[in-house]
Structures are given as C-alpha cells and as structure tokens.
Structure 1
Amino acid sequence: MPRILAPVLLAAAATVSLSACASTQAGPVEVTRFHRAEATPIARGTISVGALPASQIDPQSIEARTYYQAVGAELNRLGYTVVESGGDYRAQVDAQRGTAAQFARRGSGVSVGAGGSTGSFGSGVGLGVGLDLTRLLGGDPGPRIVTELDARILRNSDDLVIWEGRAQQETFARTEASQLDVISAKLAAALFQGFPGNSGETIRVK
C-alpha cells in the first residue's frame, strides 16, 4: 500500500467510527417486572388503560394520552382487547421525566403490588463514557434526561395486582430519541417484551 494513502484511510476509518457514535442518542432501556404468573396465570381478555392513582402527570394531557396509547398498542399486540372502560382488567399507567441527577437523588419509594420492589432510580447505564458526545452529536444535544414509564395490570373482579413493571431510559434532551412519541413507544415495547417476563429480574433492552 502506498504510504501516502495510509493517513487518508485512517482518517476515513475514524470518520466512520465517529458517525457510529453520533448515531447513539440513548442508553439501553432498563426494565424490571413483577407478577403472579406462577400462581395465577395471566389470561388474555378485555382491558382498559388509564392513570395510576396519584399519577405524576395530568391524566388529561397530551403527554399522558401518548403513554396510554403506547401501552394500549403493546397490550393489543399481546392479545388483549383494549376498551374505553370496564373490562376484565385495567392497566394503570404513569410516567415521569427528569435530569439524571434528579433521578439519582430521588431514590425509589415505589413498592410493587405484585410482590416486589423495582429498586432504585438511575442505574448509571447512560451515555458519554470517555466521549465528548456534545461534539459528536453535532452541536449541543441538551442535558441528559431520564424518562420512566410505570404500568400495572389489575384484575377487576377482585382488584388484585397481577403484573407490574417499570421501564427507564436515559437520553439527550435535544435528540430524536427524547421526543415523546418516540420514547413512549420505545419504553412500552421494552416494558412488555417477553411478557410477563421473569418476576424480579432487571433486563436491559437496546
């Protein structure tokens, strides 16, 4: 190989590597689920989707409806028939967003009705290890933020919580990955991946 080409090829390889880094706008989705499937099989049926009691977001807001629709779409994919109200089950949904620092300070006070606890906020699985991602992403991508989606399924006949889970992802605020329609669909898909999941296990979904 002529020696004059080596620097050019090295530069091209570096550009490809940086482009791959620049396309990384979000960390993996961290998901934890708890359920009673071992004792009470989770049958399919009709299900309504609404707000978790003491929801962090206004149940009538566009933000809330976007999360409800994302969860409803996943439940429909799993074989449930989503109805406006009533039904065999009800899914209660909540979501919240904040900076990574806020989530790390907040800690978790959420206990899971299906028999466990989802652990602490903020796993540190986010972006930026050893890289200046502000430069790689082409401008200021904004602060790192954490978006969390919580959902539980209750059986209406006896109000028993039969399944509950949490999905959490870290993104940069000014990137496509942080847009509400994008991240709500991503979190819901990860939350219900392999439903009902292994109770008490935390997984990471890319």
Structure 2
Amino acid sequence: MHRFALALVASLAMAGCALPPTGPVQVTRFVSQPAIERLGSGTIFVETAPGENGDEDALRTYKAAIARQLVALGYRETSRDQAGQVAQVRVSRTVIDAAASRGPVSVGVGGSTGTYGSGVGLGIGLNLGGGKAREQVSTRLEVRINDALTGQSLWEGRALFDVASTALLADSAQNASVMVEALFQEFPGNDGETVEVSVAK
C-alpha cells in the first residue's frame, strides 16, 4: 500500500507538471467560385490588413511565411503597384488559461458568411494544490486574398491554434510556419469547409 501511495503521488505530480495539449490547427476557408481559376497563379503582394493594429514585428514574421507559401503555390511576389492580387493579413496572439473561452468569429467571401464554433481548442491545465492553471498562447491568423484592381475578395481563410506558452511552437517564427502551412494545405480548399490539421509535438 505504501508503494502504491508513493506511485499515485508521483503520477499526480507528473500530471501537474504536464503541459496542456498542443493544437490541432483549426482552419476554415471560403472560396469565390467564379474566381477559383485565378487562385494560385499570377502576381501577388502581401500586406498588413487595413485597420490592423497588432505587433508589427510579429506581423512581419507571419507575412514572410505567407509570402513564401504563396510563391510555393505558384504565385509570383511583386510590388503593390504591379500585383494582380493582394493578400491582407491579420494576426492576434493572446494568453489564455484553463478557464478562458473564445466566442464565435465570422468570416465571409462574396456575401457568404461562415461562423467558427466557440470554445474550440481551449487550453486544459491540471491545477493541483490550488496553483495557477498552465497558460497557453492562442493565435488567430486571418488571410484574405483580393483582386488588386477591384478589391473583390477571391479567397479567405482563418487558422486558430493554441499551444503551451513554454512550448517551442509558441515562438512566433515556429508558430507562423506551422499555422501558414496548415492554412494553405490543399489550397484553395473547399468553400465553407472547416478542417483540423494535426501538429507534430
């Protein structure tokens, strides 16, 4: 019994030190069907979305990852005045704990609107002895590809990803790489679809 008690205490202690689970990345995309043949080709410029007031250093990291991914998909990156399409980027990063919750977020293309489910991918912490629940970094990445001349939305996507604040994937460069790859997986995707992309721990 004494050995069993010691094993139980050790097991609970290890659980208390365990980090919350990572991911997956939740991705939702909307595609303008009339413009689908234009996606993945031509010239494009990546910029900060109008009205975005986030950390410019963090934004720069995500925009660079997006530009690399778009080039890999078949686009050619150019200056703003020479681009046929423009990718507008928004990024928000917040710290959440086990008691946090996320409300629904909506995004739309061409008049259609899609709604993300609330409370998806929240951090789960085991709180032993009244200590503080372990924190996670919650990142939301939004990309909208518009026609540069008319401003018409051609494609829109959003990725949501939660990771323990002490994990390697909480670093903005690592986080950007994982989220951008998930967001553009099988680009352009299906209109209105929501998928979960697993992340290697």
Q: TM-score, normalised by structure 2?
A: 0.76
Q: Distance in 2 between matches of 1:40 and 1:184?
A: 25
Local SS of the residue matching 1:104:
coil
Report matched runs for 1:106-117 at 5 Å: 107-108=104-105, 110-117=106-113
Amino acid at match of 2:91: A
Structure 2 residue 102 is matched with structure 1 residue 104: yes
* CA offsets 1:63-108 (integer angstroms, 9 cap, x no match): 1110100110110110101123231100000000123466615x42
CA distance in 2, matches of 1:46, 1:74: 13
2:146 is equivalent to residue 158 of structure 1? no
Instruction: Supply the distance in 2 between the matched residues of 1:179 and 1:133 (Cα, whole angstroms).
Output: 25
Q: Which amino acid aligns with 1:89?
A: Q
Are 1:191 and 2:188 an aligned pair? no
Q: Which of 32, 56, 59 is the aligned partner of 1:64?
A: 59
Deviations 1:107-137 (A, max 9, x none): 42x4423343342364433454xx8499xxx
Q: Where does residue 69 of structure 2 map in the other structure?
A: 74
2:25 counterpart of 1:29: yes
Deviations 1:141-198 (A, max 9, x none): 9502310100000111321100000001111112111110011111111111001101
1:204 and 2:201 are equivalent in the alignment: no
Greater mean alpha carbon deviation, residues 114-123 or residues 145-154: 114-123
- Runs of 5+ unmatched residues, structure 1: 1-10, 135-139
- SS of residue paired to 2:61: helix
Q: For the residues of structure 2 that align with 1:56 and 1:48, how far apart are their CA atoms?
A: 19
In structure 2, runs of 5+ residues without a counterpart are 1-6
Question: In the alignment, is residue 168 of structure 1 matched against residue 157 of structure 2?
Answer: no
